[in-house]
A and B are shown apart, each in its own frame.
Chain A
Amino acid sequence: MADVRGRGSWPIFSVLTLGAVVLLAASPANAQEGESLYEIGCAGCHGSDGRGASPDRIAFDDPLPDLTECSFASREPDADWIIVAKAGGPIRGFSETMPAFGEAFDDTQLQAVMDHIRTFCQDRAWPRGELNLPRPLSTEKAYPEDEAVWTTGVDAESPGAVVNEFVYEKRFGPRSQIEIRVPFGFAPSSTDEDWGPALGDLGVGLKHAIAHNDRSILSLVTEVKLPTGDVDRGFGADAVRIEPFVALGQILPNDSFLHFQGGFEFSTKPDVVEHEAFWRTAIGRTFTSGEFGRAWSPMLEVLGSVDLEGGSRVSWDLVPQMQITLNTRQHVMLNLGVRFPVTNADQRSTQFLAYILWDWFDGGFFDGW
């Protein structure tokens, strides 16, 4: 999970001019101190090169992480690693073999050590973990991820259909991700009103981050939805839909953040499913219980969509919500919210929404509790 650190805001439009990664370079004095502190405090176990000390130099069997492995190192925010270095492995559900160095190094020194560790991964194509902002209920993240999400929605008004969606995301390369979506649920039949299970239109998506720096990330995404769903129960559209969109993640000051997603849904049968434009924005802030505790991220999503033909009205929704980290490792999260239709409310129901998110790269679902 990203720990949002707002060191100053970046105007959103500046993201569009970015074509390369810009590093925040540490001053030479800080760099020397960081390397020196790493040598005396960390190299004994993690090795001077970050690949782990030789087994004959240590007296434990726990596997040591390879700090030079960009796929592993880049996705972890500085704050998470600093917390572990300061308070020890158990603070994030890791092995107690990792000692606590908070009595030896102050926060400035720990950051200097962290800055030195960042030099072990030389490939700047990998976006930093700080950009992995808290996931909203509807708006897509720009950050490529390895996670599984189960979202459930219940209509508050009749007929009260229950809608689920399981999403599996897998990264490949430094900036890309593939995902699979499986909607399913429980709804009445349109013919005889009998309730029953239903499968929705399967979706496959591809995401690629085209630009990122320490504050922003911009991705292009294409999703294809296949007509596999149960039309009778309202879970299918009986048409192939292609959904290209952009996704933006922006770190704001004071641990705040913003997501934006905007694009189109094109249908192969516009007489059945109209072409649509949509845009989604989420703004939120992360709070922490104490110095090391649970993270709480209240968010507000604003969703908009409009059919591109026929002079349809724009549909607006508001989705207040709260994401909470559930376990000590903070790689399993819960989000609860309510989707309120602001316009076209006579055609759409208020929905109670929730998801369970599992960042499976950080460990098994039952690890780190």
Chain B
Amino acid sequence: MGGKRGFAMIGPLLVTSLFTAGLLGVSVTGPSQTDGTVVSGRVVLTAGSVRLVGAPPAAEPVDMSADPYCREQHTSPVMDQSVRVGSTGGIADVLVRVRNAPTDTEPTGADVVLDQTGCLYGPPVVAVRVGQTLTIRNSDATLHNVRVTPEVNRSFNVGQPLRGIESKRTMEEPEIGIPVRCDIHGWMRASIHVLEHSFFDVSADDGSFTLPTLPTGEYEIEAWHPILGAAIQTVTVEAGSPPEIVFEFAAP
């Protein structure tokens, strides 16, 4: 193609390229180099899941008889939440994170809330960024204490005797699997993860997770569960080819 005829074809070709990129679910940001010869794309890493291989452990019912208030909040037995497996084998509450994440300039975002409702933590796993505010709320009309025992960050134990009371904390160091417990209601257990970047997610009830957009490159993706353990996969992110990752854990 040459001359005026070649030049006239650039417009339609550009439109076609953009349309095709849209069909593939590729979001393309503007050129990253000023010379205009290379277009760096950011590809959405989507559709990951965490699955259990083998029969899921039998969940034990939680004995709430020690506090009549807690027992009265539930019309059916409450099952232990240590390992939550969905009907299709998906594992909830797994932290999925990028171990070699790129430099992250995204702001830390709004408060993350750890609530206590019906004498259970909701959600049982929260993930925050370093310096991001964690709001711990008591939505019950009974006394809870929230005892957080990190190994790196500062520990605390706050009493929350009133419905609606909130305590706000920030963690200043990255740390995975910080235990949270109530010393009055011993079945209440949760975990806090603190990360120094935003490239993480906690798997949903069906085991699915979605990580924020990543530049092209090779990444180590880790799935971490306090009981099931950890698994790492190396993933290559290429423009126009969003990978789907499946982590599988053996039943305990």
Known contacts A44-B184, A60-B183; decide if A99 and B162 are in contact (CB<8 Å): no
User: Shortest CB–CB separation between residue B215 and chain A, in angstroms?
Assistant: 42
Interchain CB contact under 8 A, B165 and A104: yes
Interchain CB contact under 8 A, A56 and B165: no
Q: Identify which of B159, B183, B185, B186 contacts A100 (C-beta below 8 A).
A: B159
Q: Once the chains are docked, how many angstroms separate the CA of A58 from the CA of B183?
A: 6
Interchain CB contact under 8 A, B157 and A96: yes
Residues on the B chain within 8 Å of A59, using CB = 181-186
A144 on the B face (CB < 8 A): no
Closest B-chain residue to A53, C-beta based? B184
Interchain CB contact under 8 A, A98 and B157: yes
Interchain CB contact under 8 A, B184 and A41: no
A88 on the B face (CB < 8 A): yes
A103 on the B face (CB < 8 A): yes
B213 on the A face (CB < 8 A): no
Known contacts A59-B186, A96-B147, A99-B145; decide if A40 and B162 are in contact (CB<8 Å): yes
Interface residues of A (CB under 8 A from B): 40-41, 44-45, 56-60, 88-89, 96-101, 103-104
Contact pattern, B 14-44, Cβ under 8 Å of A = 1, otherwise 0: 0000000000000000000000000000000
A-B contact pairs, 9 of them (CB 8 A): A41-B161, A57-B67, A58-B186, A96-B147, A96-B149, A96-B157, A99-B157, A99-B159, A104-B162
Residues on the A chain within 8 Å of B162, using CB = 40, 104
Taking A59-B181, A100-B158 as known contacts, 13 extra A-B pairs with beta carbons closer than 8 A to each other, sorted by chain A number, are A40-B162, A56-B66, A57-B66, A58-B66, A58-B184, A59-B183, A60-B183, A88-B157, A96-B149, A100-B159, A104-B160, A104-B161, A104-B162
Interchain CB contact under 8 A, A45 and B184: yes
Interface residues of B (CB under 8 A from A): 66-67, 142-143, 145-147, 149, 155-162, 165, 167, 181-186
Q: Once the chains are docked, how many angstroms separate the CA of A285 from the CA of B109?
A: 49
Residues on the A chain within 8 Å of B159, using CB = 41, 99-101, 104
User: Shortest CB–CB separation between residue B30 and chain A, in angstroms?
Assistant: 47
Give the number of residue pairs across the A-B interface with Cβ within 8 Å: 61
Q: Once the chains are docked, how many angstroms separate the CA of A103 from the CA of B161?
A: 10
Interchain CB contact under 8 A, A103 and B158: yes
Most buried by A among B156, B159, B160, B181: B159
Residues on the A chain within 8 Å of B158, using CB = 88, 99-101, 103
Residues on the B chain within 8 Å of A98, using CB = 157
Q: Once the chains are docked, how many angstroms separate the CA of A149 from the CA of B79?
A: 57
User: Shortest CB–CB separation between residue A100 and chain B, in angstroms?
Assistant: 5
Residues on the A chain within 8 Å of B157, using CB = 88-89, 96-100
Residues on the B chain within 8 Å of A40, using CB = 143, 161-162
Interchain CB contact under 8 A, A101 and B161: yes
Residues on the B chain within 8 Å of A41, using CB = 143, 159, 161
User: Shortest CB–CB separation between residue A83 and chain B, in angstroms?
Assistant: 14
Residues on the B chain within 8 Å of A103, using CB = 158, 160, 165, 167
Closest A-chain residue to B162, C-beta based? A104
Known contacts A40-B143, A41-B143, A104-B160; decide if A97 and B165 are in contact (CB<8 Å): no
User: Shortest CB–CB separation between residue A117 and chain B, in angstroms?
Assistant: 15
Residues on the A chain within 8 Å of B182, using CB = 59
Residues on the A chain within 8 Å of B149, using CB = 96
Q: Once the chains are docked, how many angstroms separate the CA of A59 from the CA of B63?
A: 12
Residues on the A chain within 8 Å of B181, using CB = 59
Identify the 10 closest CB pairs spanning chains A and B, nearest first: A59-B186, A99-B159, A41-B161, A99-B145, A101-B159, A44-B143, A99-B157, A60-B183, A40-B161, A57-B66
User: Shortest CB–CB separation between residue A59 and chain B, in angstroms?
Assistant: 3
Closest A-chain residue to B146, C-beta based? A99
Residues on the A chain within 8 Å of B143, using CB = 40-41, 44
User: Shortest CB–CB separation between residue A40 and chain B, in angstroms?
Assistant: 5
Interchain CB contact under 8 A, B183 and A97: yes
Q: Once the chains are docked, how many angstroms separate the CA of A57 from the CA of B63?
A: 11
Residues on the B chain within 8 Å of A101, using CB = 158-159, 161
Residues on the A chain within 8 Å of B161, using CB = 40-41, 101, 104
User: Shortest CB–CB separation between residue B161 and chain A, in angstroms?
Assistant: 4
User: Shortest CB–CB separation between residue B120 and chain A, in angstroms?
Assistant: 14
Q: Once the chains are docked, how many angstroms separate the CA of A97 from the CA of B66?
A: 19
User: Shortest CB–CB separation between residue A50 and chain B, in angstroms?
Assistant: 16
User: Shortest CB–CB separation between residue B178 and chain A, in angstroms?
Assistant: 14
Q: Once the chains are docked, how many angstroms separate the CA of A99 from the CA of B183?
A: 9
Q: Once the chains are docked, how many angstroms separate the CA of A342 from the CA of B158?
A: 55
User: Shortest CB–CB separation between residue A43 and chain B, in angstroms?
Assistant: 8
Residues on the B chain within 8 Å of A45, using CB = 183-184
Closest A-chain residue to B182, C-beta based? A59
Residues on the B chain within 8 Å of A89, using CB = 157
